[in-house]
Amino acid sequence: MTPPAAGRVVISGGTLLDQAGERAGDVAIEDGYIVEVGTGLTGGQLLDATGCVVSPGFVDLHVHLREPGKEEAETIETGSRGAALGGFTAVVAMPNTDPAQDSVAVVQFVRAQGERAGLCEVLPSGCITVGRAGERLAPFGELAAAGVRIFTDDGNGVQDAQLMRRALEYAGPLGITLAQHCETASLTKGAVMHEGSCCSRLGLPGWPALAEELMLFRDIELVRITGVPMHFLHLSTARSVALVRAAKAEGLAITAEATPHHFSLTDEELSGYDAVFKVNPPLRTPADIAAIKAGLADGTIDAIATDHAPHAPHTKEVPLDQAPSGMLGLETALGVCLAELDMSLVDIVAALSWKPAAIAGVADRHGRPIAVGEPANLTVFDRNVEWTVKPEQLASKSRNTPYVGRRLRGKVRHTVFNGIPVVVDGTATR
Amino acid sequence: MSPRHAKHLLSIDDLTADDIHHLLELTDHMVEINHRPIPKVPALRGKNVVSLFFEDSTRTRTSFDTAAKRLSADTMNFAVSSSSVNKGESLRDTIETISAMGVDAFVIRHKSSGVPGLITRWTDASIVNAGDGWHQHPTQALLDCYTIRTRLNRRDGFDGLRIAIVGDIKHSRVARSDVQAFAALGAHVTLVAPPTLLPPALHDWPVAVSHDLDSLLPDLDVLYLLRVQRERMDDALLPSMHEYSAMYGLTAARAARLAPHALVMHPGPMNRGVEIVVDPADLPGSAILDQVTNGVAVRMAVLFSLLGTGGDLRSETLS
């Protein structure tokens, strides 16, 4: 962990929002911890929160930081900066790096790079299988001992049902969570976009909703027989939401996330063949968006995660079928959520903060109530300000945001990580 | 948009019925030019038309080349295989480099859907889509319309005309373009294929769907056959080419059940023994060579409408 700041920081004039609801108040921070909550607090560095909400820092269960291996698209430092600007104090780094995060050495490197940047806590995930190849189990025990809590082959679904069953059984006593990228590969060969009327018109191979739902169903049944918890990444279809809702009603130990792009953009965005809109799983239909929003509103979907996936510009300026999948998300997440979701602010922040913190196994230090003695990982945001996305103003090394020119509502003003103001007045301080 | 003022031809979807009629009338003028002893006019003198074929094609490339030359445009041909582009220069760099030499129009063929539209971002030149992936082949649809219009004497439109498109619709840019063009002109279009060779969602297409070619045959005005490729068997889309031929191929028995006036069409190249079992030379209704002939005139009309002065078509540029 980054050494906490010694100096005193006061967040003044905002509305505090956490698990206990909303109330006015100032927050004083010293040595990385909240030391006072009250009114009229002074001393040290003042962060003006007038008209803003002060909440626990956001936790993103799903980011691709590209380091090691694709530093031309993003580094842990640039990705962390984007995270801090987006109000995130912790991010789970997906393991599809090169080399993949299937060994203690790579995982420690990722964590160390995160500490060096000092902008947010970078939580390396581990692979489920060696090299994400879907053949042999990654060393869960060694990686868990090195602090890894989330394991996934994200980018690939684990195709082999027997292997997935063994992975869950083996993971059980280690107290880790396996997270699935649900995609039945035999149904998505060459797929570019959602299978439906849009792909039929555009002449592009479709990625059917069924490919996600089939693996989700299989894994829900594996959770049932093994009793080992699972997390489901970036669910994108109405039927997926229904499957998770039914499984949770039965008491199965599963959690799920959805991305802002899957509840704000449809497959019609692909009509211009712009690869910025190519993402996996693909953008789907208005009915799917409605179902995901309903799933977030009723808690079926626990967390909002960005699946932040930077790609260098030249790799996206190619025919759609040759382009890599993925879009930026960290710096636009809050603005999309507040513009799109018809939910109470506390429920939105729950899905961005303490609920994902629990899934990531960092609920001891992120997503905490705003109270004396708690670690100072906090986000201060203006819930009403409208702004237009300009790719050149993003901190990411890449520019593949699908929200170019779009009006979003809500923007982060300050972010405090471990007691340090890493974002002040919308600008990163390091 | 009016094609006379449009900059690009990317998709039939961009054209109204009036636009299509206009292009077909312009094609009449081009046919007249092509019948002259010296079939060449100075309409596009000084214009530079570059054909960039990232996918092999003999007939379409030659047809565009002939069309451009008959209008006195300068022409350049680049046969670029996609793989060589992948190894080195990006598509964008290729386009920007050639554009820098001074290009008025690119004629683009690419195996990936959507490429002609992408290219419009990187050049000021006009883009003519000569076939992109499974998406569109608009000049094929226009030449098909022109062929039907001429052979069936349907200058005013295709109202009431019954057209069946048979074969691999799912992977066919010709089908996507033809459906839009035929329907825009008023035809009743039926797609005939096994379900595995149809696009996944057709509810918003202006078509009927059938899996029974035999029941349709006597009522058809046009039987349009598509090429069916052997690789479709590898993806479990077809059990065998023999079975396809038996269920959907044009056999002599099926040909005999067509109405005397009915046309048989095919965009080529034909898979003889698969979708067409009879010799087309034995079919009085075959319009397959007319399609090729008309292709040149239609492409002249398209190039002229995009690059020409846009003035009176009877002006000296066409004389």
pLDDT tens-digit profile of A236-257? 999 999 999 999 999 999 999 9
Q: How far apart are CA A210 and CA A212, in angstroms?
A: 5
Q: Is residue A1 part of a domain?
A: no
**The CATH number of the domain where A37 resides is what?**
2.30.40.10
Look at residue A195 in the predicted model and tell me its pLDDT: 98
Which tokens hold the place of A20?
């206990």
E strand or H helix at B23: helix B17-34
Question: Hey, which residues does B78 pair with through a beta bridge?
Answer: B52
Task: Confirm if A243 and A289 have CB atoms less than 8 A apart.
Answer: no
Task: Tell me: do A113 and A228 sit in the same domain.
Answer: yes
Task: Tell me: do A70 and A195 sit in the same domain.
Answer: yes
- The beta-strand segments (E) located in A283-425 are 303-304, 378-388, 407-417, 420-424
A366: left (phi over 0), alpha (psi -120 to 50) or beta: beta
Given 3.40.50.720, 3.40.366.10, 3.60.20.10, 3.40.50.1370, which CATH number is that of B12-136+292-318? 3.40.50.1370
Mutation target for B interface from A186, A192, A198, A201: give the one with most B CBs within 10 A. A201
Rounded alpha-carbon distances, angstroms, from residue A142 to A138, A150, A179, A202, B312: 9, 13, 18, 47, 80
Task: Tell me: do A15 and A130 sit in the same domain.
Answer: no
Task: Confirm if B16 and B184 have CB atoms less than 8 A apart.
Answer: yes
Ordered per-residue pLDDT tens for chain A, 430 residues: 445 556 899 999 999 999 999 999 999 999 999 999 999 999 999 999 999 999 999 999 999 999 999 999 999 999 999 999 999 999 999 999 999 999 999 999 999 999 999 999 999 999 999 999 999 999 999 999 999 999 999 999 999 999 999 999 999 999 999 999 999 999 999 999 999 999 999 999 999 999 999 999 999 999 999 999 999 999 999 999 999 999 999 999 999 999 999 999 999 999 999 999 999 999 999 999 999 999 999 999 999 999 999 999 999 999 999 999 999 999 999 999 999 999 999 999 999 999 999 999 999 999 999 999 999 999 999 999 999 999 999 999 999 999 999 999 999 999 999 999 999 999 999 9
Break chain B into its structural domains and give their ranges: 12-136+292-318, 138-291
Look at residue B235 in the predicted model and tell me its pLDDT: 85
B138-291 shares the fold of B12-136+292-318: yes
Question: How does DSSP classify residue B209?
Answer: E
Look at residue B313 in the predicted model and tell me its pLDDT: 45
Could you tell me which of B184, B185, B202 has the C-alpha nearest to residue B193? B202
Task: Tell me: do A87 and A105 sit in the same domain.
Answer: yes
What is the value of pTM for the model shown?
0.95
Cα nearest neighbour of A208 on chain B: B200
Q: How far apart are CA A37 and CA A55, in angstroms?
A: 13
Q: Supply the range of the domain harboring residue A263.
A: 57-360
Q: Is residue A204 part of a domain?
A: yes
**Cis bond before residue A173 (omega within 30° of 0):** no
Task: Tell me: do A140 and A39 sit in the same domain.
Answer: no
Q: Is residue A2 part of a domain?
A: no
A287 in contact with B at a CB cutoff of 8 Å?
A: no
Look at residue B87 in the predicted model and tell me its pLDDT: 60
**The CATH number of the domain where A275 resides is what?**
3.20.20.140
Task: Tell me: do A312 and A422 sit in the same domain.
Answer: no
Cα nearest neighbour of B133 on chain A: A203
Which tokens hold the place of A160?
């082999």
Q: Is residue A4 part of a domain?
A: no
Ordered per-residue pLDDT tens for chain B, 319 residues: 344 468 999 999 999 999 999 999 999 999 999 999 999 999 999 999 999 999 888 899 999 999 999 999 999 988 776 545 556 678 999 999 999 999 999 999 999 999 999 999 999 999 999 999 999 999 999 999 999 999 999 999 999 999 999 999 999 999 999 999 999 999 999 999 999 999 999 999 999 999 999 999 999 999 999 999 888 878 889 999 999 999 999 999 999 999 999 999 999 999 999 999 999 889 999 999 999 999 999 999 999 999 997 544 444 456 5
CA angle B134, A183, A225 (to 5 degrees): 155
Radius of gyration of chain A (CA): 20
Mutation target for A interface from B134, B177, B180: give the one with most A CBs within 10 A. B134
Could you tell me which of A218, A353, A240, A358 has the C-alpha nearest to residue A291? A240
A385 in contact with B at a CB cutoff of 8 Å?
A: no
- Our answer to whether residue A274 is catalytic in this structure is no
Task: Tell me: do A197 and A340 sit in the same domain.
Answer: yes
Chain A closest-CA separation from residue B233 CA (Å): 15
Question: Hey, which residues does B293 pair with through a beta bridge?
Answer: none
Which tokens hold the place of B312?
């009176």
Task: Confirm if A231 and A179 have CB atoms less than 8 A apart.
Answer: yes
Task: Confirm if A209 and A195 have CB atoms less than 8 A apart.
Answer: yes
Domain count, chain A: 2
Task: Tell me: do A42 and A108 sit in the same domain.
Answer: no
Q: Is residue A161 part of a domain?
A: yes
Look at residue A141 in the predicted model and tell me its pLDDT: 98
- The pair phi, psi for residue B104, each rounded to 5°, is -95, -35
Give me the amino acid identity at A176. I
Task: Tell me: do A268 and A187 sit in the same domain.
Answer: yes
Could you tell me which of A373, A378, A419 has the C-alpha nearest to residue A55? A378
Q: Locate tokens 């092509």: which residue?
A: B34
Report the CATH architecture of B138-291: 3-Layer(aba) Sandwich (3.40)
Q: What is the mean pLDDT of chain A?
A: 97
From chain A, pick out residues whose CB is under 8 angstroms from the CB of B90: 314, 317-318
Q: Is 0.85 exceeded by the ipTM?
A: yes
Question: How does DSSP classify residue A325?
Answer: P
